[in-house]
Amino acid sequence: MSQPISSLKKLYTQTGHLPQGVGKVSGVIAYSLAILCLLGVIAFHFPQYLSTPELRHKYSVDVLRYIMLAGLVISGGIAIANLILNRVRWLNAFALAIVVLAVALGGPTVPVGDFPDNTPYIGLDWFILDLLGSTLIFIFIEKLRPLYKDQPVFREAWLTDFVHFAINHFLIGLSLIIVNFLIHRFFGWATYAPLQNAVQSLPFAVELFACVLTADLVQYATHRAYHEVPFLWRFHAVHHSTKTLDWMAGSRLHLFEVITTRVSILGVLYVLGFSEAVMNIYVVIVGFQAVLNHSNFSFPWGPLKYVLVTPEFHHWHHSSDKAALDRNYAAHFSFIDYALRTAVKTDRHLPEAYGVLGDYMPEGFLRQQAFPFTYREPPKE
Ligand SMILES: [Zn+2]
Ligand SMILES: [Zn+2]
């Protein structure tokens, strides 16, 4: 038994391309799906503590049951096929054991009754659904049209970014409470009903454009401050420390930065009083574009690249090339950087290297959260 367990441990630390045609890729898919299904079953058992109220009011539990059933069938089917074909037996045996455990615990049929809406919770449902959806979309487009063709899915330091991703999702409830509290504390005095009425009476498309533009201008200002104020850079250096960019890399953020940036942007949007319909679309846009901008995805954007932030544009922001330092701050509209003369000027398509100059950031979620408080010398050149 110790051999399969040490092989499993190695799976979490190994990087690089998985060997093709030996059942490893399908085994990893079966194993990952099985774990997500098991986590889903646990969330069904304790929905008041393991699901996100904002999310569960929007999705149908019956649809989730079908998704889980499909996940169990696919995962179990792959694992059994690989076991029969004698391919990576230890991994597929683990996958099958987790599928059996998930089914034994009730699988997709666990009843979900009424429960109180105001318990403290971990956003496990948000983690499962976002991981599943983002993996399907982004690994597909990254494989279809990669910026860097040889970049593997399990690239260097993927586990650190995965832990950032997981904890950001688990803590969504706590983060919402803190952000809401701070917005009302710091921006509550500034609301002015006639202004909010005027904003809400704009045509829908204009209001949406104004919302995203306002958000990006505030984001530009806070982001630039995070680069130019040495105390703030210590926090933002965490985000810049990744040396390989893909859809998961954008999750690498210090929690202080996550909260302060959200409070600044949402605080200003709250004061301006954008309508709920516009805010709902903005939240989807910002979530999608934040992931897309970091992804290893190439697309013939044409002149659009002077208007919208593309993965190439944000890749240059993460470059450690001297000419690219403190450039390309925008998150939605690249024209902001062109207008304010902070866009990278280069003839090259992509940078040569990523990360922070001096490479001083430790690996690992906790070490990176502690970094701003333990660091002594100003790191930036
Ligand atoms: Zn930055
Ligand atoms: Zn970034």
Each residue's pLDDT tens digit in the chain (381 positions)? 577 888 888 888 889 999 887 888 999 999 999 999 999 999 999 999 999 998 888 899 999 999 999 999 999 999 999 999 999 999 999 999 999 999 999 999 999 988 888 899 999 999 999 999 999 999 999 999 999 999 999 999 999 999 999 999 999 999 999 999 999 999 999 999 999 999 999 999 999 999 999 999 999 999 999 999 999 999 999 999 999 999 999 999 999 999 999 999 999 999 999 999 999 999 999 999 999 999 999 999 999 999 999 999 999 999 998 888 999 999 999 999 999 999 999 888 899 899 999 889 999 999 999 999 998 665 555
**The residue type at 271:** V
Distance in Å, CA 158 to ligand 2 centroid: 15
d(CA 159, CA 13): 7
Ligand that lies nearest to the alpha carbon of residue 250, given by its number in the listed order: 2
Distance in Å, CA 125 to ligand 1 centroid: 29
Ligand that lies nearest to the alpha carbon of residue 222, given by its number in the listed order: 1
Ligand that lies nearest to the alpha carbon of residue 247, given by its number in the listed order: 2
Distance in Å, CA 318 to ligand 2 centroid: 6
Dihedral pair phi/psi, residue 75, rounded to 5°: -60, -50
Distance in Å, CA 111 to ligand 1 centroid: 45
Distance in Å, CA 12 to ligand 2 centroid: 24
Tokens for 275, please give them. 């309508």
Per-residue model confidence (pLDDT) at position 10? 87
Ligand that lies nearest to the alpha carbon of residue 224, given by its number in the listed order: 1
Distance in Å, CA 346 to ligand 1 centroid: 18
Per-residue model confidence (pLDDT) at position 22? 82
- The answer to whether 89 touches 22, Cβ cutoff 8 Å, is no
Q: What is the DSSP letter of 326?
A: T
Distance in Å, CA 220 to ligand 1 centroid: 10
What Cα–Cα distance (Å) separates residue 288 from each residue in 164, 270, 301? 17, 21, 17
Distance in Å, CA 13 to ligand 2 centroid: 24
Q: Is the pTM of this model over 0.85?
A: yes
Distance in Å, CA 330 to ligand 1 centroid: 9
Distance in Å, CA 340 to ligand 1 centroid: 16
d(CA 90, CA 174): 38
Q: Sign of the C-alpha dihedral, residues 244, 245, 249, 253?
A: positive
Q: Say whether 184 sits in a helix, a strand or coil.
A: helix
d(CA 122, CA 169): 8
Distance in Å, CA 267 to ligand 1 centroid: 21
Distance in Å, CA 327 to ligand 1 centroid: 8
Q: What is the DSSP letter of 18?
A: P
Helix, strand, coil percentages (3-state) for the chain, rounded to 5, are 65, 0, 35
Distance in Å, CA 96 to ligand 1 centroid: 43
Per-residue model confidence (pLDDT) at position 379? 55
**The residue type at 224:** R
Distance in Å, CA 125 to ligand 2 centroid: 25
Q: Please name which of 163, 141, 164 lies closest in space to residue 292, comparing C-alpha atoms.
A: 141
Distance in Å, CA 380 to ligand 2 centroid: 17
Ligand that lies nearest to the alpha carbon of residue 228, given by its number in the listed order: 1
d(CA 32, CA 38): 10
Task: Report the DSSP beta bridge partners of residue 354.
Answer: 319
Per-residue model confidence (pLDDT) at position 381? 53
Distance in Å, CA 253 to ligand 2 centroid: 9
- The answer to whether 225 touches 142, Cβ cutoff 8 Å, is no
Distance in Å, CA 234 to ligand 2 centroid: 15
Per-residue model confidence (pLDDT) at position 52? 94
Distance in Å, CA 341 to ligand 1 centroid: 16
Distance in Å, CA 230 to ligand 1 centroid: 13
Ligand that lies nearest to the alpha carbon of residue 380, given by its number in the listed order: 1
